[in-house]
Structure 1
Amino acid sequence: MERGLYDEDHEAFRAVVRTFVKREVEPCLQKWEEERLVDRALWRAASRQGLIGLAVPEEYGGGGQGDIRFRAVMMEELAAVGAASVQLGISLTEDIAMPYFLELATAQQKRRWLPGLAAGELISAIAMTEPDAGSDLRGMRTTAVRDGDHWLINGAKTFITNGFQADVVIVAARTDPAAGSHGISLFVVEAGTPGFSRGRKLEKIGLHGQDTAELFFHDARVPVDHLLGQEGSGLRHLMERLPRERLSIAMGAQAAAEAAFAWTLDYVKQRKAFGRPVAAFQSTAFTLAELRTALDVSQAYLDRAMLALNGGTLTAQDAAKAKWWATDLQHRVTDRGVQLHGGYGYMTEYPIARAFVDSRVQSIYGGTNEIMKEIISRQLIDG
């Protein structure tokens, strides 16, 4: 079935991305997995090809193009080669952190950070999650206290994507402990800030090439003009941008599931058992039919959600639906893919095995899928 989502510009962009992935990404994947880090030079190389900083206005060196479909194209091409760690690192900057800089930053702040982000010279991260506060942002304990022309930030953040090598980190902290959800503010903390340090690169079961770190703040001195958005409105700022983050996760999940399905289909057509291709067995054929149908139906919903985001009408509930559905489907497709590969599906030299462990976190970060269902059901029940 023809999707009709992309036009000639998107397909021209795809050709550039595909060439870039083949030249700059594929040869380095194993190295990055072993080093537990994607070389930051990749961001600079991507910028030279016009692949990042897409939504940054041209006056700051970006592409001036906010159409999220271009991001979908890049996700699809990275997923096709199993570059899940690369996809997550770039998505963190482009889809999750960038909207905060574009929509909340002052003119001075934009001049300070947007050119570097667009050029791939600055890698960004966003620090919300804490050791004792995951999906429940209201439970955060990190504080920021005004001290003359600085804020002193104290606390710890964990599971921070790009955290180990980020140059700018958006940090959520309590500026008024007595104000509850109205006492949280956002700050941009730069690498080298006194009192800001990083812990070890966290050991994960998947996404080995993606640096995930603990961040620590001990009287970290942040200039007052690094406050991002309005003081006390940090939670609202976060909530307003979570729909895009969750749609981005859903898009990545869909792209990864499509890649896993393609690898599996190719394998069962070639692999023989009892004298005939594995694909010829009815149980295999029916599994493939079920997965193909689920992928097509899921993609139709995501296509609609992308157009809604472009039009400014994507709701928190619809983004939550996309996130939990697509990530659950990704689990199902990769799990069945491993099964249909047989023993080889358990071998890490096969992309389906890596995809299986890489996919597990998708239903956890960005708000667990249980939280997504809470968001959806709350609207249904409370109206």
Structure 2
Amino acid sequence: MLTDRQRLILATIIRDYAKTGKAVGSKTLLGELDLTVSSATVRNEMALLEELGLLQKEHTSSGRVPSQRGYRYYVDELMHQHHLSKVVQQSLERVFNRNFQEIDDLMQTMVDELASLTGYTVVALKPESADIRLSGFRLVPINGQQIMAIIVTNDGQVTSQSFRLPEGTSVRYLDDMVDYINRTLVNQPIIEVLRTLTGDLPWQMERTIRTPVAFLQLFGDVLARSIHDNVFIGGYLNVLDFTVDSSLQDVKQLYQLLDSAQDMRRVVGTANDGVIVQIGDENGNDLLSPYSLVSATYRVAQYGVGAIAILGPTSMRYADMVSLVDAFRSALSQQLLEYYR
């Protein structure tokens, strides 16, 4: 159990170190705090905090820096969530008080805005839903033998892919197939349509249509992409600003981790509704042990669970990050719910 003075000293060291990145000494603390004690008394308090594992001493300085345990104590016991500043409110308005055509557009705008606000790297995942359905499929001629396959799903997502028809083949050759797909597969869940493609659909189509196998494979590829769990990253290069003693290989593997929706869902989790702060080794992944992750899931009724996470140094401004993640995930959840309606 820390005394009020020890709590004040620890919180001040954490705040100052987040601002400057430099060890904090007793003289600096006396200059900032209204303490009627000597510099020696403050040094003694700092030494006690070090014995408790909440501070650690840098070899190049007589000052102290927070330890991972110190950050955890601060987050659990001392941190107070901040009110949103005018800058943050304006940022929320820029992202959410605008028209957008696709969810991907909104998601990317949001992570870019958060990365700009924080200077850190931001990762977001769309709601994971098993009920996305096929709304329509069409082929659009582009130029010569180039064709664009377009799939629309019931969540408003438009997925497209271009391909080239064999010489001598007209897009009209595929009209019957497109019509068959739209008559028999529209309004079915994408997952079921993908199963049908590997089941009896080819046989059913071959009874009335000369089916190019390559086209069915293309259709399946575009379908799979339409429900792919995209990862949206803002401030992709910001992580390089706070990467400490990491090899190029470690940084490469870190980027691969951030790009993987499956891995990020595992790191962030989906069981908690509040904002979660994971510090250093608490991330459960060696690649993330030099960093802190402030994350939260957001729920869109009937459409699944998504996530937002801010990756930064262990010396990040925790109270600010928690407030930002909480505000953005609430606004995003509401915006997506209105969009789906």
TM over 0.5: no
**Higher-Rg member (1/2):** 2
Q: Which has the higher strand share?
A: 2
Greater RCO structure (CA 8 Å; 6+ sep)? 2
Answer 1 or 2: which has greater helix percent: 1
TM-score, with length taken from structure 1: 0.24
Task: Provide the TM-score with structure 2 as the length reference.
Answer: 0.26
